[in-house]
A and B are shown apart, each in its own frame.
Chain A
Amino acid sequence: MIFLVFILTIVLYAVAAIAFFFRLLGRSQTLERLAFGSLGLAVVANIVFVVCDYFANDNLLMSHINGTLATASMLISLGYLLQMRRHRLPVLGTFVVPIALLFLLGAGLPSQGHRIPEGIGSALIKLHIIFSTLGVVLFTLAFAAAVAYLIQETLLRSRQISGVFQRLPALDLLDTAGFRFVTVGFPLFTIGIILGSITSLRIGAGLFNFSASQGFALLAWLCFAFILLTRAIAGWRGRRAALGTVMGFLCAVATLLGYLLRNAGGW
C-alpha cells in the first residue's frame, strides 16, 4: 500500500514537473491547469504517504532521513502553493517541483534504519530536524526564485526578450521574493543548527568534531548569513544575491545527501 502511494506520488510530481516545464516554454493555459492539478493531487498523495510512513515507523515523524525527505518534499510543494497567494509566481513551479520530486525519490532510497536514538537529546534532535527542514523548505523556494532571476537576467542582457523572457516575472519581483524566503528561512535554519550543535555537545561528540554533512550545513548557513549581511550593509542584491542563494541551497542539499548516503550505507 505504502509503495503504491509512493509510486503514485512520484508519477504525479513527474507529470506536474513536465507540465510546468513546457508551460514555461509555451503559452498553453491547459498545461498550467494540468501542472497545478497534478501538483495538487501529488501533495495529497504525498501527505498520505507521510502519514502511512508515520504509522509504519512507530509513530515517529521524520524518524529517519528518508522520512525527513518525504516530509520536506510535501512541505516544499505546500510552500510553493502558499507563496502563490502572496507573490503569485506560478513560474517558480518549474524549479520547485523537480526538487520536490528529487527529495521524494531520495526518500525511496534503501535505508539501513538509522533512527533518532531514544533518551538523552532525542527531543532536541527532533526539534533540530524540524527547524532545519523548515529552513531548507524556504531555501528551496528562494533557490527557485534565484534560478528564475539568473535566467531572466541572462536573457535580458543577451537581448533575447521573447518566449521564456515574456513568461518569467520581473527581476525585482523575483529578487524581493527570494530575499523574503531567505529572511524567513534563515532564522529557522539557524535554530536548527544551534539545536544540532547543542545535541552534539550533549552526546559528547564535541562542537568542532563534525562530519562532512555538518560541514556543508555550516557552509549553507554562512552563505545565507553572508547574503543577508551584504544586502543590509552594501545593498547586494540581484545577481550576486541569486548566486549566493544557489550556493547556499546546494550546500544544504549536500548536507541532506550526506545523511541520506550514510543511512543508505554509502558512507
Chain B
Amino acid sequence: MPAECVVIGLSHRTAPVELRERLAVEGDLIALELRRIVEAAQLQECVLISTCNRVEVVAVSQNPTATFEAVASHLNGRLTPDRVEPYLYRLRGERATRHLFRVASGLEAMVLGEPQILGQVKEAYGYARALGTVGSLLSRCFERAFTVAKRVRTETDIAAGQVSVSSIACQLAEKIFGELQDRRVLLVGAGEMSELAAGTMKAHGARLYIVNRNTEHAEKLAQKFDGISRPFESLPDEIREADVVISSTASPGFVVSYNLMQNVIKERKRRPLFFIDIAVPRDVDPRVDSLDNVFLYNIDDLDKVAASNLELRKREIQAAEAIVDEAVIQFEKWRNTLELTPTIVALKAYVSAIVLEEKRKTFSRLSLLNADDQKKLDAMCDAIVNKLLHIPFSQLKRSGANGDEAQLIEATQRLFQLAIGDAFDDRTKPTEAEELAAKREKGIDDG
C-alpha cells in the first residue's frame, strides 16, 4: 500500500477550549510529545502542530486506519477518563494535504487570515526536523504549505487589515506617524484594554508613559512595559508631549475636554495627535476630533473597522481557496510520480539486467567481434530496451490522470515479480535496483 499524508487532530471548530488546553503543549514539550506519538503509532514521518486552537498530528502512513487508532489511543491516554474520539477529525491523502495548506494559510484559523499560525506551523516543522521525523514526503508537503501560505498572503487580501482592537489602533497610528519607533504613547488609565494596546505599541518601538489615578497600578504597568508613570495631575502636560494617547479610565465624564485640547494643540504647534478612546463611557470629548491635526477613534470606531476588515477577508476566501487548490493538485501530481518511480526504476533495471546478461553470454561466444562491433551491438540492445519500455512507461505515467494508477502499478509489479522494498524508497538508488533485478535473473538462469 503506498504511503500517504494523514492528519488526525482537533481544533477550535470541533473541541471546546477545556479539552484543547489539556492536550496542547508548548515550546520544547512539543518535541517530547512528538517523540511519544512517533513511538506509540510507529511512525517514520510525523509533525505535531500544537497551538491554543488546534492539536494536530500530520504524518505519513501506509496504513492510515491503524495510525488513526494509535494516535487517538495515545491522546485518550492523556485525557483519561474523558474520550477524545468525538472531537477528532481524520483526514488522508489529498484531504489531508489540503487541510495542512489551509491551516498554514490561515483559512482554518479562528480569526480568518491570522498570520500567527504560519509561524506556529513552521515551529512545529522545525521541532520535527530536529527530531528526525521528517522524510521526503512530509518535507515536501510542509515546504509547499509555506509557499502556499506566502502566496495567499501576498496575492489576496485575506490578511489585509487588522481585526483586533489593539492592532487596529497600532495600524492607524502608523498611518498617521509612519513608524512608531520612539514615538511617545501616553496611557490614560491602566485597564486591561489599554494594557493590550500598550503591548502592541511597545512591540513597535514606542515609548510608553502612564498616568492613572491609582499610582500603584500605573507603576505596575510602567514596570511591565518598561515605561514611565506620571501623576494624574500632569495629564495636560503629558498630552502636550504625546503622539498617541490611549485612554481607558472608568471616569463617568470626559477626562480630556474640548477646551483643554484647544489650548494644548496650540502649545504643541499643531503637531499631529492621535487619541484612542477605548473607555465606556468615553473619556475624550468627541468634538476634539474636529481640531486640526487631532484624530480621535473611540471603541465603536475600532470595532467597526475590525468588522469591516473581517468582511474584507471573507470576500477573499475564494481567491485563497483557488491558490490552495492549485497547490494541492501540483503536490498530488508530484506524489503520484513518487509512487510510480520505484516501479519504473525496478522495471528498467529488470529488463536491463536480462539484456546485460544475455549480451555477456553472446559476446563470450563471438570471439571475432572487434570493439567497434561491440559498441554497435551495445547501442542496439539499449535501443531495444528503450523502445520496449517506452509504451509501458508512458501508460504508467498517464495512469495518474486516468485514475487507475494503483491497479497498473500493482499489475506491473506482479507481472514482472518486482519487489519494491526499502531499496526503492530512495529514488536516487537505481544501482541497488539493478542488483536486485540481476539476482532475480540469476535465479531464473539457475532454475
Contact = CB atoms under 8 A, between A and B. Distances in A.
Interface of A: 27, 152, 156-157, 159, 161-162, 165-166, 169-173, 234-240
A224 B293 CA distance: 20
Interface residues of B, number: 25
A237 B160 contact: no
B61 interface: no
Nearest to B243: A172
Contact of B272 (A162, A165, A171): A171
Given A162-B160, A166-B161, A172-B177, 19 more contacts: A159-B297, A159-B305, A161-B161, A161-B175, A162-B161, A162-B312, A165-B175, A166-B160, A170-B175, A170-B178, A171-B272, A172-B176, A234-B269, A235-B269, A237-B271, A238-B272, A238-B293, A239-B292, A239-B293
Nearest to B174: A170
A156 B177 contact: no
A237 B272 CA distance: 9
B305 A161 contact: yes
Nearest to B178: A170
Interface string B288-313: 01001101010001001100110010
Contact of A235 (B176, B270, B297, B301): B270
B263 to A, nearest CB: 14
B115 to A, nearest CB: 16
A89 B271 CA distance: 22
B423 interface: no
A161 B172 contact: yes
24 contacts: A156-B172, A156-B175, A156-B176, A156-B295, A157-B295, A159-B304, A159-B305, A161-B175, A161-B305, A162-B161, A162-B309, A162-B312, A170-B174, A171-B176, A172-B176, A172-B272, A234-B270, A236-B270, A237-B271, A237-B272, A237-B293, A238-B272, A238-B292, A239-B293
Nearest to A29: B154
A119 B268 CA distance: 55
Contacts of A240: 292
Ranked nearest first, the 6 interchain pairs of A and B with the lowest CB-CB distance are: A235-B269, A170-B178, A238-B293, A235-B270, A172-B177, A173-B178
Interface string B390-406: 00000000000000000
Contacts of A159: 297, 301, 304-305
B33 interface: no
B177 A170 contact: yes
A267 to B, nearest CB: 39
